[in-house]
Amino acid sequence: MTAETDKDREGAAEAAALDKVTDLVPEKQLDEGKVREAMADMAAAQKANKEAQRKREKELAAVKVKRADIELICREFEIEDRLAERRLRECNANVVEALKSFL
């Protein structure tokens, strides 16, 4: 009988060792309330970000730019009109500042 008990002990020790190796990361239960709160926070942050972008686009649209300035930037840096216009608006229609920003 001692041979069988030794085998049982040995088997139990091997099983315990295997459990230790395979269960490196303990399972965690998710708190449903925390998950919902995190999702709500993410949605609120995304909404705030979209609102800020919309506000920024409205501010940029209000900046008046000259067609000649857009063409100058397009010629100097060989870029599309829309990119030149965007940069010019971001620089408050300051041509020198817009040109420097491309360097």
pLDDT of residue 29: 67
* Cα atoms in the 13 Å half-sphere on the side-chain side of 13: 6
User: Per DSSP, which regions of 24-95 are E strands?
Assistant: none
The predicted structure's pLDDT at residue 21? 65
What is the distance between the alpha carbons of residues 55 and 50, in angstroms, rounded to a whole number?
9
pLDDT for the residue 22: 61
Residue range 10-65, pLDDT digits in tens: 878 887 777 776 655 555 666 788 889 999 999 999 999 999 999 999 999 999 99
Confidence bin at 4 (pLDDT 50/70/90): low
Query: Between 4 and 94, whose confidence is greater?
Result: 94
